[in-house]
Amino acid sequence: MYKGRHRTKFKKDHNKLNDLFNAYYNSKENNQIDAKKTFQKFANILHSHILWEERILFPVLEKKLGGYYLKVVDTAKEEHCQLVDYLKILHEKLQKGDKNTEKDEDDLMSTLLKHEDKEEKILHSEIIKHLSEDEIKQALNAMNKIQSDIFISGQNLNSTVGKIANE
């Protein structure tokens, strides 16, 4: 029952991230206020997704798989750091009203799309092969709690970006 839900959750998060980024990108020229709000939502969802992977999912998979999987986790964590760096750069530029963001946006989305592709191709198969229904259920519940905590606490982009960078 839960074996397929993780795939749906990942895909749903990925689609939401991509949709929010596109909405931000399309509104940035005409409506800076909406663009900033949309970028904040994008950053919050990306933050919760990264936290879930690094705090919940990766430790479970590392414990079960070790060796080979450590390389996959290390690569994913490096990509998370890159994504956070791009978020910080874009956030600073948005706060200053700097519209010279094209390269940073391209770098962010290029990294994010590659990361999502690896998750969907590698992570899903490892989850299905090696985690029990109960472990998947627990991981999904933990992800929902992390997302809920971020949105209920009303964290803004400054605290979100700062928190990711310090973890």
Enumerate the domain spans of the chain.
5-165
In the predicted structure, residue 89 carries a pLDDT above the cut 60 = yes
Nearest to 116 by CA among 3, 34, 15: 15
The angle at the Cα of 91, spanning 37 to 123, to the nearest 5 degrees, equals: 85
pLDDT band at 22; cut points 50, 70, 90:
very high
Structure tokens at 78: 């490096």
pLDDT band at 57; cut points 50, 70, 90:
confident
Which amino acid is located at 143 in the chain?
Answer: M
pLDDT for 93: 93
In the predicted structure, residue 150 carries a pLDDT above the cut 70 = no
